[in-house]
């Protein structure tokens, strides 16, 4: 099992990408913050189905964490990540340093409107600027043909699509389905923070959202169904519910019944914030 090539510098990344391009190979990128799990690895598999070579970036991006958030305790486990990437046959791991990504004097922030409004932004107002800035940098550094993002972070996927469209970034953005554990809990690096008791409660998240998405598809009133979902989450043991909202799948505008819908939610268990989402489908 060969380890992926590991590069820290943009120059080394570009040199490798140039070599692959010279050989006529296509490239797909999977941006991550590391602490990899089966959700990330599923994106690597999609990448390798869609392109000849897969670049995975591992970078815990300070720009998307607010001062009170978990930047310092965010799990970092590069050696294990590289083993998982080797198993998945990813070709290159790009592991830039914070100093390389944001050198002294760095002064640009990309702000995406449209799908970034509301939902996460109501609770993490600087989050998507941080995401858009780092994703734009990563895509310009690696210049992949395609980049794969998880539906797990559904609003982020919509924001990245908008970013690439608006800035004419020549990258195909591909969304990949959420990978869940056998209880239906969406895999997340932050699940590692959960105690056994919290984990049991967390497993109710997907169940309540799925039931609510089905009720909405069956014609339930939106305000009534989402309020009932919030109450059900509180009853299940969630400490605080940030939002449960139905939105239009493509634009994230408020959901109208004649459009494809997505139910999105964020809730807290102790100090851990979980997000999840479900398609609202009439089938």
Q: How far is the CB of 134 from ligand AMP (least distance, A)?
A: 10
Quote the least distance from Cβ 149 to ligand AMP, whole Å: 4
**Catalytic positions, written as ranges:** 40
For residue 71, the Cα-to-chain-centroid distance in whole angstroms is 16
225 or 264: CB nearest ligand AMP? 264
In this complex, which beta carbon is closest to ligand AMP, that of residue 80 or of residue 256?
Answer: 80
Separation of alpha carbons 225 and 239, rounded Å:
20
**Which two tokens mark 247?**
């939105």
User: Contacts by 247-253 with C-beta closer than 8 Å and gap 24+?
Assistant: 247/119, 249/279, 250/158, 251/114, 251/115, 251/158, 252/114, 252/115, 252/117, 252/118, 252/119, 252/155, 252/158
**Shortest CB 224 distance to ligand AMP, Å:** 29
What is the full DSSP assignment across 135-148? HHHHHHHH--SEEE
- Judged by the rule CB under 6 A, the positions of this chain that interact with ligand AMP are 32-33, 39-40, 42-43, 149-150, 152-153, 176, 178-179, 186-189
Q: Whole-angstrom Cα distance, residue 280 to residue 199?
A: 25
Residue 259 CB, shortest distance to ligand AMP, in Å, is: 23
Closest CA to 57 of 127, 125, 110, 136: 136
Q: Which is nearer to ligand AMP, 33 or 54 (CB)?
A: 33
Nearer to ligand AMP, 158 or 176 (CB): 176
Question: Nearest approach, Cβ of 153 to ligand AMP (angstroms)?
Answer: 4
Q: Which is nearer to ligand AMP, 172 or 228 (CB)?
A: 172
In this structure, the strands spanning 53-58 and 92-94 are: parallel
DSSP letter, residue 105: T
């Amino acid at each position: 099992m060969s380890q992926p090539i590991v590069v820290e510098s943009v120059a080394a990344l570009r040199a490798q990408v140039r070599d692959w391009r010279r050989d006529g190979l296509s490239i797909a990128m999977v941006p991550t913050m590391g602490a990899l799990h089966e959700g990330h690895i599923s994106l690597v598999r999609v990448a390798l189905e869609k392109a000849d070579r897969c670049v995975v970036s591992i970078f815990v991006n300070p720009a998307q964490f607010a001062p009170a958030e978990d930047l310092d305790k965010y799990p970092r486990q590069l050696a294990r990540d590289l083993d998982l990437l080797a198993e998945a046959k990813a070709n290159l791991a790009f592991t830039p340093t914070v100093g390389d990504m944001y050198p002294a004097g760095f002064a640009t922030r990309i702000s995406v409107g449209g799908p970034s409004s509301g939902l996460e932004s109501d609770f993490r107002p600087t989050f998507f600027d941080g995401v858009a800035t780092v994703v734009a940098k990563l895509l310009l550094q690696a210049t992949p043909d395609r980049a794969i993002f998880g539906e797990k972070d559904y609003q982020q996927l919509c924001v990245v699509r908008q970013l690439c469209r608006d800035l004419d970034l020549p990258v195909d953005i591909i969304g990949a389905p959420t990978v869940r554990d056998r209880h239906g809990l969406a895999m997340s690096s932050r699940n590692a923070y959960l105690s056994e008791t919290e984990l049991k409660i967390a497993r109710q998240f997907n169940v309540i959202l799925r039931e609510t998405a089905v009720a909405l598809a069956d014609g339930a009133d939106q305000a009534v169904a989402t309020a009932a979902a919030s109450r059900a989450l509180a009853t299940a043991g969630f400490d605080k519910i940030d939002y449960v909202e139905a939105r239009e799948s493509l634009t994230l505008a408020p959901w109208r019944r004649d459009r494809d819908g997505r139910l999105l939610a964020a809730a807290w268990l102790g100090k851990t914030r979980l997000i999840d989402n479900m398609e609202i489908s009439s089938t």
